[in-house]
Structure 1
Amino acid sequence: MSVAVAELDARPKFPVSVFLLTIAQGLAGAIPPIMVSVGGMVGQTLTANELLVTLPISMFMIGTCTATIPVAMLIRLLGRKPVYCIGAMVSMIGGLTCTLGVLQNSFLLFCLGAFLFGLNIACVQSYRFAATLLVPETMRPRAISFVLAGGLVSAVVGPQIVVWTSNVVIGAPFALSFLCQALLALSTLPALLLLRFPAMSTPLRKGAVTSAPPSDAKVSLKDYVLAVICGAVSYASMSFTMTASPLAIIACGFSVDDAAHGIQWHILGMFAPSFVTGRLIERFGHQNVMLFGIALVAVGAVIALSGQELAHFWATLILLGVGWNFSFTGSSVMIARSAVGPRAVLLQGIADFSIFAFVAISSLSAGALIHLAGWSMINWIVVIATGLTALPFLYQATTKRNRTVRG
């Protein structure tokens, strides 16, 4: 018994800053579910153009995409903690702007607030990479998974805020929901202010000498590009369907609460597997986990094509979430391993820019496409995109198997 206890004590543990990043992830991560749940519905009340109803969600994604590389450059210049705190303050301003947009019936203000929200999400997306600076290389998959697991808080808090606050302000539905978003952004500051990073992640100053990467650490362009493609397709497919699903659910005669709870189950699916994803990557390899995630996203789309009952919508959203977790976590680990050295932060920023460029395009087109072509077309596109993405992984697996047989 004492041996078992000693072995348990000897196991490496996460430093406090990893837990703080997880807390910040959980609080800030509750903002996107609110925007996705009601952004399209608010858009319908603020503009008569049905092709633009999901523009606020798209502006949110465009904000994230726009900020990824500038955030990476600012991190190199100022350090992570100051940049993360600035991002939280910008997000709070975004919440207040969205609230004002709803109260004044201004579509322009609402879109501006959504854009400001997106700027901070570029910071939030880099929390997972920040965690890898705090642990040994062997623990990086678990650290990334653990930080993403903070999304479980997001899954509960975000949609429930929508349910509790949607009709509190008479004549301005969801105004209080966006005010709560501002408070969520503010609540991340205590955790962010307590963060401590190793000296290697301090700002780069003029004339400073950066240490060279280890001799065996090389950027694998093929792995990096493959990881970015997988992350982009899985995230864009998830966003594409998630953006359109509340509109489809309402159009099928279900309630706003049904749509919000569907998003809640989806967010749970996105983050609940995080407790085991890191271990699965260690056991089966990140590429196998990524491929399995892509397959789950495709299965979710097939279920959506099979019917339009509430169970079909919820099953699709859950599988989308779980599939996203496996594919996105796996791609994050692959990016972290292939992007090394002094330029790692910039390479991570480029990866996130590429991913969120796809996400922004998918969310922007979702509203117009569901209006022009319907819910089924959304899911056919997901099936095709995930199928094409799986091909390089299947090719690599087949090539590796053939080499093993010949050897």
Structure 2
Amino acid sequence: MSLRDPSVKNVTLLAICQALSMSGMIMNMTVTALAGETLAPDPAYATLPLAFQFTATMLTTMPAALYMRHVGRRLGFVTGVLIGVTGAFVGVSAIFSGNFVLFCLASMMIGSFQGFAVLYRYAAADTASDSFRPRAISLVLAGGVVAALLGPELAKASYDWFAPIMFAGSFVAIAAVQALSLVFLAFVQIPRPSAASRAEKGRPLLEIARQPTFLVAVMGAMVGYGSMTFVMTATPLAMEDCGFAFHDSAFVIQWHAVGMFAPSFFTGSLINRFGVIRIMLTGVLAYLLCIAINFSGIELLQFFSALVLLGIGWNFLFIGGTTLLTESYRPAERAKVQGFGDFLVFSASTVAAFSSGYINHNFGWQAVNLGILPLAVAVGVALIWYGSRRRAAAA
């Protein structure tokens, strides 16, 4: 494959944009709960801005997908970036003014941007051949490796730029990183859908959603993303409760993000070789090991190793679920199915973000970990059932 191949070129550019998007998201994840704690009227509300962020992402995914169906991918992504940059500057204003409500609004705007950015992987899938599609999806998400290294470092470097007003600098850095992606989006070449394809409706969404392929794909991605959000959102607060410094929690989140995105360099190839069901089951196993390690102690090593496994589990379940979902729809149905699938995934993340800080504050870190155990087991059972069904159909 050559960079002269339009699909490879687009995947490369989208991977860069994804890296910039995720760098901002990881910075946001690293500092938002801590900034929220300084602004909130009650520490139990510290993760409320993140919860509003995931709510906005959830509510934006479907409209963003349909908007792109009409205006094209590039203009859609540019629109999202402009919303995100504006939201970051609103966050700066909220921190300087000590306004918690305004900070929640800023988080919602950043979340709306993420509702557009999560579609980078589908933009890559839409232009790739069937054999290249799993690799295209995973390679776009591989851009997150850069984010894993860059995001926490930028958060640590910028959180005290305006000391004694803490964390405002991080949101200035988020705005700058997101704005940079506009340069690369200018070179993305994905044809705007034709009038005929926009007019074609396809099957009703409910009919598509009743397919076992759709159900298992979305269930795996929902639990993968929701469980990751649930544990990751509470981690900086739990580490602060255990006496760790901000730099320690930033270090753990950084390596968690490496665990999320580094496998993307080979996840697509693993799916092609071993099958999507086996890879998703490996993700479930990583979650179970994460829970076991978090129950074993509260030293830095436990936080570090458990969060790396949490990231790997997310990667296998999210990329696997995305790949499996592409088998459930026809070309004319892709916008509504992609948007609806992500709506469900980020519904789970929203519930996780709303409840994580409250459960950690009132019931403790171990309750957070115990909360994802039955979900991981349920996904494992569903995947085993679906895998046996596929084998029987192929026999």
* TM-score, reference length from structure 2: 0.94
Task: Please tell me whether the aligned partners of residues 370 and 377 of structure 1 are also in contact (alpha carbons under 8 angstroms).
Answer: yes
Partner Cα separation in structure 2 for residue 193 and residue 13 of structure 1: 14
For residue 294 of structure 1, the aligned residue among 279, 284, 304 is 284
Task: Please tell me whether the aligned partners of residues 201 and 333 of structure 2 are also in contact (alpha carbons under 8 angstroms).
Answer: no
SS at the partner of 1:254? Answer: coil
* Residues 73 and 385 of structure 1, relative CA distance in 2, 3 Å threshold: same
Task: Please tell me whether the aligned partners of residues 221 and 321 of structure 2 are also in contact (alpha carbons under 8 angstroms).
Answer: yes
1:247 lines up with 2:240 in the alignment = no
Deviations 1:224-275 (A, max 9, x none): 1110011000100000000000000111011100000100000000000001
Task: Please tell me whether the aligned partners of residues 198 and 332 of structure 2 are also in contact (alpha carbons under 8 angstroms).
Answer: no
For residue 137 of structure 1, the aligned residue among 130, 152, 160 is 130
For residue 308 of structure 1, the aligned residue among 284, 298, 302 is 298
Matches within 5 A, 1:356-375: 356-375=346-365
Residue in 2 aligned with 1:3?
A: none
Residue in 2 aligned with 1:5?
A: none
Residue in 1 aligned with 2:115?
A: 122
SS at the partner of 2:332? Answer: coil
Task: Please tell me whether the aligned partners of residues 7 and 124 of structure 2 are also in contact (alpha carbons under 8 angstroms).
Answer: no
Deviation at 1:211, TM superposition (A): 10
SS at the partner of 1:195? Answer: coil
Residue in 1 aligned with 2:90?
A: 97
Partner Cα separation in structure 2 for residue 122 and residue 44 of structure 1: 25
Partner Cα separation in structure 2 for residue 395 and residue 285 of structure 1: 15
Looking at CA atoms only, which structure, 1 or 2, has the larger radius of gyration?
A: 1
Residue in 1 aligned with 2:26?
A: 33
* TM-score, reference length from structure 1: 0.91
Partner Cα separation in structure 2 for residue 265 and residue 222 of structure 1: 35
Deviation at 1:197, TM superposition (A): 1.1
Residue in 2 aligned with 1:164?
A: 157
Deviation at 1:113, TM superposition (A): 0.8
Deviation at 1:219, TM superposition (A): 8.3
Partner Cα separation in structure 2 for residue 381 and residue 210 of structure 1: 43
Task: Please tell me whether the aligned partners of residues 31 and 181 of structure 1 are also in contact (alpha carbons under 8 angstroms).
Answer: yes
Partner Cα separation in structure 2 for residue 112 and residue 402 of structure 1: 50
Residue in 1 aligned with 2:272?
A: 282
Deviation at 1:193, TM superposition (A): 1.6
Q: Which amino acid aligns with 1:27?
A: L
For residue 108 of structure 1, the aligned residue among 84, 93, 101 is 101
* Residues 400 and 229 of structure 1, relative CA distance in 2, 3 Å threshold: closer
For residue 187 of structure 1, the aligned residue among 180, 183, 199 is 180
Structure 1: unaligned runs, 5 residues or longer = 1-7
| Count of equivalent residues | 390
Seq. identity, %: 32
Partner Cα separation in structure 2 for residue 242 and residue 208 of structure 1: 39
Task: Please tell me whether the aligned partners of residues 133 and 197 of structure 1 are also in contact (alpha carbons under 8 angstroms).
Answer: no
Deviations 1:81-133 (A, max 9, x none): 11100100000001100011111111111111111111111111111010012
SS at the partner of 1:30? Answer: helix
Deviation at 1:196, TM superposition (A): 0.5
1:394 lines up with 2:384 in the alignment = yes
Task: Please tell me whether the aligned partners of residues 59 and 114 of structure 1 are also in contact (alpha carbons under 8 angstroms).
Answer: yes
Deviation at 1:301, TM superposition (A): 1.3
SS at the partner of 2:127? Answer: coil
Partner Cα separation in structure 2 for residue 170 and residue 135 of structure 1: 47
Partner Cα separation in structure 1 for residue 317 and residue 345 of structure 2: 12
Deviations 1:16-74 (A, max 9, x none): 11111000000011122112111111111101312211011111111110100100110
For residue 326 of structure 1, the aligned residue among 316, 336, 349 is 316
Partner Cα separation in structure 2 for residue 208 and residue 316 of structure 1: 45
1:237 lines up with 2:227 in the alignment = yes
Runs of 4+ in 1 over 3 A off after TM superposition: 203-213, 396-404
* Residues 400 and 340 of structure 1, relative CA distance in 2, 3 Å threshold: closer
Deviation at 1:399, TM superposition (A): 5.7
Deviation at 1:316, TM superposition (A): 0.9
Structure 2: unaligned runs, 5 residues or longer = none
Deviation at 1:209, TM superposition (A): 5.4
Residue in 2 aligned with 1:61?
A: 54
